[in-house]
Chains A and B, each alone.
Chain A
C-alpha cells in the first residue's frame, strides 16, 4: 500500500523558514517524480514544486521560485521542501504527491494527508 506521510508544518512568523518532509513507502520511490501541492484555506489546489526521480529536473511555481527548494533522498525514500522568506500567502495545507504516468499523460495518483503551514505574526 502506497503511503505518503508529511511532517514539519506549524506556525511560523513572516520572513522565517520552515522545512517540510515526506516519508514514502509502498512503492519504488526512486522510480517516480514527486511533487508538493498546496491548498490555502477555502481555496483550490496549487502546484508548488516537482522533482524528477534523480533530481535532475526541478521546477517551481512562480509564486515560490527563489524562496522554496525541493529535494529528495532516494536512499531514505524521503522528499523535502525548504521554505524560506515565508509570506502570509504561503499559509496552506501542503500535500506530498506521487506522480503517475500513462503514455504522455502525467497526473498525481497518490496524495499524503497534508501538513498545515500557518504564516502569521
Chain B
C-alpha cells in the first residue's frame, strides 16, 4: 500500500503571497489531519477532516484553511503569508476519526517564506 504523499516537498514564497499544499492519504483512509512543525513549537495541530467535513480545528488564524475532496485527498491553504509561517507542514491519515486509530504521516512540505 502506498503511503501518505504530500506535494510539493519544498516551497519558497514571499510575504503576502498565498500557498496551497496537497495531501493524498493512504488508500481507504478517510481522515486527514494537518500539522505545523517548527523548531521552537514542535508539532501543532491545524485541523482534521473526515469525509469532507472539518472535525476539529487548532488555534490558528483564519489565514489557514483546508478542505477535503470526495476521494479523501486534502488541501491546505495559507493566505497572506507571514515570515512566521515558515515551517514543515505535515499531513497524517488514519482509517477513521478516532483517537485510537494510528495516524500515518507523510514526508511533509517544507515552506519557506522570505
Asked if A and B bind, the verdict is no
